[in-house]
């Protein structure tokens, strides 16, 4: 149960004054649903204004506060702006300019002949000085001068700075005093304020110590929760699995396992033989051969008389895994079924029966395989592919499914930096596939200006004529998803004019049947060119596709580009990746593309991605490898996470049940950041 003292923070945002139906939507867009969210909606930056006696003291572009006397109103004809012409004490003329409906208020606030204190940015329009939409207009000097430092909040359409400021002010007023969860020695050493003071301060001024403390809280909550998961997992009853190897002996893979694959399999074999359930992450770059490792793990479970389930993040991937595993396991007598949300009626019934009576040994599917209605005779191992798509909470839910906790193998192809591995997977043991299967060739990566698109399309034509296949990737990172989709559809139409039925289109909003049909045509070789948004990012394997074009490549993060590029270079043919770039290329954009050309090492690219993004650059919101944090930024994660991790470990060692006063405080922290699944795992928690 959530401690009562947090109740004011978990009240609905709608309970604040001034939140009507009109604000509901914008608040939702910013994920501000509770008072807590608003309290933690911190300013991006602060405007610093300078109070000046007259405009000669100010320069154009500067944020100022100045006393001005209004002389006359000038309403323009038609839809032009409204201007209140005003003078400073020296007689310098400045136009206070308003567009749209705000001019009604402005007329009232700025009566001719009166003096007002004005806060805003001094600009120049032709020969005249002007202040467009002053931030503050007040009769008293105090009103404007009190605003010399002002927060600037992230906004969504329908919200204004004033509105958010007012809400933040209310939220701060509701903050309870919370017990201190940070170790006193550390708190003192860092010079951090108490929680409430830190949050208040973070809205008022740029105190980096306050922001750090808040970030640290979040990181500590995360580390602690992950450790609780781990500790509770150790105490759970799992089923030790001893595979005798009879199924694995019947496998006839067309290749020799790499050393890294053998090591990973041995680690898994060691884990599942234990009483405590395995919680292992298999980290391996795209193409490093995770599927074969997963198959071995699942066969161990089946050899030991259990069942295994493989969970894929998308329908496409589930199908592909099912096909691959069925092919690999042919001749072993192992029964492998595919179960997705789309399976209905009799087919579904028969799969459900098979899972219940144990005649199906391995079940591959989307989250449908863990629905209420699905029960297993003896689920011994769960493999989760592309781990980053699933949160820890979901992971926990999965393992609740069986009476005895199944062993869990999570697989990710996102080579994330070490610091983030700790943050995201801190509760797991890690096996790394740090060796690629032999015979892979480097992917020839080139950056091409978008003006040369016609040449690129000709190149695709030649590639297809020689029997090759290709991908064409369009970005999906804009705020307005519909615009991106329109762009992808338009590109598809253009390419179709040239290549006709050889082209198929796949994007996230297609009906699943249409998506699968397109994918199947491409995978089977009937279609030659696959135009796609980033849905192909994860896992798709078509070795004959050796050419990839990525449009507006500068809009993707490095990690994501790397993932995309990994779709080619899967066969023995030499592959090419063309990064089309627009003309407006930022410095980081340029650097990013250069790095892509330079290296294919996913772990290096991940580190560089962190560095470039830590430099303050924000990409689209749907980046893969995004952090699980709201408060802590990249730089803070890199700097503070190791501290938080050690601190959490120390606390767990001293007080694993979180029963001491500091432990109690830590529980409050976990609820505050909704990492309470950690607490719930505690006995009596």
Give contact residues for ligand ADP (rule: CB under 6 A): 255-258, 261, 284, 286-292, 413, 437, 541, 570
Q: Residue 148: phi, psi to the nearest 5?
A: -65, -35
Q: CA 72, CA 57: separation in Å to the nearest integer?
A: 24
* C-beta of 413 vs 580, nearer to ligand ADP: 413
Question: Please, which residue, 97 or 283, has the CB nearer to ligand ADP?
Answer: 283
Q: Which is it for strands 307-311 and 362-365: parallel, antiparallel or unpaired?
A: parallel
Q: Which stretch binds Mg ion (CB under 5 A): 327-335, 423-431, 539-547, 611-619?
A: 539-547
Min dist CB 351 to Mg ion, Å, is 23
Residue in the block written with tokens 């992808």: 488
Tell the smallest beta-carbon distance from residue 434 to ligand ADP (Å). 12
Listed ranges 336-344, 534-542, 561-569, 592-600: which one lies at the site for Mg ion (CB under 5 A): 534-542
Residue 316 vs 669, nearer CB to ligand ADP: 316
Q: Residue 41 or 565: which CB sits closer to Mg ion? A: 565
Closer Cβ to Mg ion, 120 or 539, answer by number = 539
Task: Cite the DSSP H helix spans in 236-275.
Answer: 259-272
Nearer to ligand ADP, 540 or 549 (CB): 540
Residue 120 binding Mg ion, by CB under 5 A: no
Question: Contact at 8 Å (CB) between 39 and 172?
Answer: yes
Least distance in angstroms from the C-beta of 563 to Mg ion: 11
Other CB atoms within 10 A of residue 15 CB:
12
Q: Which one of Mg ion, ligand ADP, none interacts with residue 286, CB within 5 to 8 A by kind?
A: ligand ADP
CA distance linking residue 146 with residue 169, whole number of Å: 15
Work out how close the CB of 383 gets to ligand ADP at its nearest, in angstroms, rounded to a whole number: 11
Instruction: Confirm if 472 and 551 have CB atoms less than 8 A apart.
Output: yes
Rank residues 201 and 386 by Cβ distance to ligand ADP and give the closer one.
Answer: 386
> How much helix, strand and coil, in percent to the nearest 5, is found in the chain?
45, 20, 35
Cα 171 to the center of its chain, rounded Å: 26
Region from 424-432, 535-543, 573-581, 603-611 binding Mg ion, contact rule CB under 5 A:
535-543
CB of 569 to Mg ion, least distance (A): 14
Of residues 292 and 652, the one with the C-beta less far from ligand ADP: 292
Give 38 or 559: the residue with its C-beta nearer to ligand ADP: 559
Kindly tell me which of 138 and 291 has the beta carbon lying closer to Mg ion. Answer: 291
313 binds Mg ion (CB under 5 A): no
Closest residue to ligand ADP: CB criterion: 289
CB of 325 to ligand ADP, least distance (A): 10
Q: Which does 284 bind (CB under 5 to 8 A by kind): ligand ADP, Mg ion, none?
A: ligand ADP
Strand (E) or helix (H) holding 129: strand 128-132
Question: From ligand ADP, Mg ion, none, which one binds at residue 288 (CB under 5 to 8 Å depending on kind)?
Answer: ligand ADP
Separation of alpha carbons 118 and 136, rounded Å: 6
Instruction: Pick the piece of the chain touching Mg ion (CB under 5 A) from 88-96, 106-114, 376-384, 533-541.
Output: 533-541
Q: What values do phi and psi take at 357, rounded to 5?
A: -90, 0
Dist CA 229 CA 239 (whole Å): 18
Residue 415 within binding range of Mg ion, rule CB under 5 A = no
Rank residues 239 and 412 by Cβ distance to Mg ion and give the closer one: 412
Q: Are strands 115-125 and 128-132 parallel, antiparallel or unpaired?
A: antiparallel
Taking the complex as a whole, how short is the minimal distance between the CB of residue 519 and ligand ADP, in angstroms? 15
- 88 backbone dihedrals φ, ψ, rounded to 5°: -90, -175
Per rule CB under 5 A, is residue 602 in the interface with Mg ion?
no
Nearer to Mg ion, 332 or 414 (CB): 414
CB of 409 to ligand ADP, least distance (A): 13
CB of residue 568 to Mg ion, shortest distance in Å: 15
Binding Mg ion (rule: CB under 5 A), the pick from 243, 284, 417, 539 is 539
Which pair of tokens denotes residue 146? 């009190």
User: Cβ(283)–Cβ(603) under 8 Å?
Assistant: no
What is the spatial distance between Cα 673 and Cα 660, in angstroms, rounded to a whole number? 20
* Residue 484-523 contact track with Mg ion, rule CB under 5 A, x = bound: ----------------------------------------
Residues that bind Mg ion (rule: CB under 5 A) add up to a total of: 1
Q: Do 167 and 19 contact (CB within 8 A), yes or no?
A: yes
Spatial separation of the C-alpha atoms in residues 606 and 560, rounded to whole Å = 9
Residues 6+ apart with CB under 8 A from 588: 612, 615, 617
Shortest distance, position 539 Cβ to ligand ADP, whole Å: 6
Q: Kindly state the tokens that stand for 90.
A: 């020296």
Q: Does 238 bind Mg ion (CB under 5 A)?
A: no
- Closest contact distance (angstroms) between CB of 290 and Mg ion is 5
Q: Which residue has the tokens 């951090």?
A: 192
- Tell me the closest approach of the beta carbon of residue 539 to Mg ion, in angstroms: 4
CA-to-CA separations, 678 to 230, 261, 262, 500, 668, in angstroms, rounded? 9, 32, 33, 54, 11
Those residues with Cβ within 8 angstroms of residue 183's Cβ, 6 or more apart along the chain or in another chain = 647, 650, 651, 662
> Does residue 288 contact residue 249 with C-beta atoms inside 8 Å?
no
Q: Which of 90, 95, 86, 85 is nearest to 56 (CA)?
A: 90
State the residue number with the nearest CB to Mg ion: 539
| Site of interaction with Mg ion (CB under 5 A) | 539
């Amino acid at each position: 149960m959530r401690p009562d003292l947090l109740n004011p923070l978990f009240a609905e945002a709608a309970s604040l004054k001034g939140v009507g139906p009109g604000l509901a939507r914008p608040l939702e867009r910013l994920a501000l649903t509770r008072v807590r969210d608003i309290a933690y909606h911190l300013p991006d930056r602060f405007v610093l204004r300078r109070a000046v006696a007259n405009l000669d003291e100010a320069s154009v572009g500067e944020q100022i506060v100045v006393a001005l006397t209004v002389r006359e109103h000038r309403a323009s004809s038609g839809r032009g702006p409204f201007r209140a012409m005003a003078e400073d004490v020296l007689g310098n003329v400045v136009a206070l300019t308003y567009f749209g409906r705000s001019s009604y208020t402005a007329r009232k606030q700025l009566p001719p002949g009166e003096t007002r204190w004005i806060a805003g940015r001094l600009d120049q329009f032709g020969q005249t000085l002007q202040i467009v939409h002053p931030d503050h207009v007040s009769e008293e000097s105090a009103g404007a001068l009190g605003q010399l430092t002002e927060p600037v909040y992230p906004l969504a359409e329908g919200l204004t700075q004033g509105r958010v400021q007012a809400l933040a002010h209310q939220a701060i007023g509701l903050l309870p005093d919370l017990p201190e969860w940070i170790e006193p020695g550390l708190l003192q050493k860092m010079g951090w304020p108490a929680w409430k003071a830190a949050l208040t301060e973070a809205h008022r001024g740029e105190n980096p110590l306050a922001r750090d403390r808040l970030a640290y809280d979040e990181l500590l909550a995360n580390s602690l929760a992950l450790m609780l998961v781990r500790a509770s997992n150790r105490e759970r009853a799992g089923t030790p699995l001893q595979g005798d190897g009879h199924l694995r002996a019947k496998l006839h893979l067309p290749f020799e396992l790499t050393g890294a694959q053998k090591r990973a399999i041995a680690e898994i074999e060691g884990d599942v033989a234990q009483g405590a359930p395995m919680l292992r992450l298999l980290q391996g770059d795209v193409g490093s051969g995770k599927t074969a490792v997963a198959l071995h793990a699942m066969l161990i479970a089946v050899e030991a008389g259990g069942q295994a389930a493989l969970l894929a993040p998308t329908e496409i991937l589930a199908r592909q895994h099912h096909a691959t595993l069925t092919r690999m396991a042919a001749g072993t007598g192992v029964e492998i079924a595919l179960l997705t949300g789309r399976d209905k009626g009799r087919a579904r019934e028969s799969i459900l029966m098979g899972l219940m009576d144990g005649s199906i040994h391995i079940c591959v599917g989307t989250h449908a395989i863990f629905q209420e209605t699905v029960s297993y005779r003896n689920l011994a191992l769960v493999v989760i592919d592309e781990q980053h798509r699933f949160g820890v909470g979901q992971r926990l839910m999965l393992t609740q499914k069986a009476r005895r906790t199944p062993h869990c193998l999570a697989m990710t192809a996102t080579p994330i930096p070490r610091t983030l591995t700790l943050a995201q997977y801190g509760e797991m043991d890690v096996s790394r596939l740090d060796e690629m299967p032999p015979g892979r060739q480097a992917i020839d990566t080139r950056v091409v200006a978008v003006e040369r698109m016609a040449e690129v399309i000709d190149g695709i034509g030649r590639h297809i004529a020689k029997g090759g296949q290709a991908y064409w990737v369009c970005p999906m990172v804009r705020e307005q998803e519909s615009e991106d989709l329109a762009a992808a559809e338009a590109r598809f139409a253009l390419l179709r004019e040239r290549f006709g039925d050889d082209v198929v289109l796949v994007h996230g909003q297609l009906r699943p049947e249409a998506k699968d049909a397109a994918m199947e045509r491409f995978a089977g070789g009937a279609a030659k060119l696959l135009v796609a948004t980033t849905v192909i990012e994860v896992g798709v394997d078509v070795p004959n596709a050796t050419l990839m074009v990525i449009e507006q490549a500068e809009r993707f993060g490095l990690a994501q580009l790397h993932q995309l590029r990994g779709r080619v270079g899967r066969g023995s043919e030499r592959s090419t990746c063309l990064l089309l770039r627009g003309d407006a290329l930022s410095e980081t954009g340029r650097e990013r593309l250069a790095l892509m050309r330079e290296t294919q090492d996913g772990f290096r690219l991940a580190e560089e991605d962190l560095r470039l993004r830590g430099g303050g650059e924000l990409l689209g919101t749907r980046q893969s490898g995004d952090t699980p944090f709201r408060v802590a930024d990249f730089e803070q994660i890199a700097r503070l996470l190791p501290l938080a991790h050690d601190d959490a470990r120390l606390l767990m060692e001293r007080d694993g049940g979180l029963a001491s006063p500091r432990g109690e405080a830590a529980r409050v922290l976990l609820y505050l950041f909704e990492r309470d699944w950690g607490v719930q795992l505690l006995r009596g928690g």
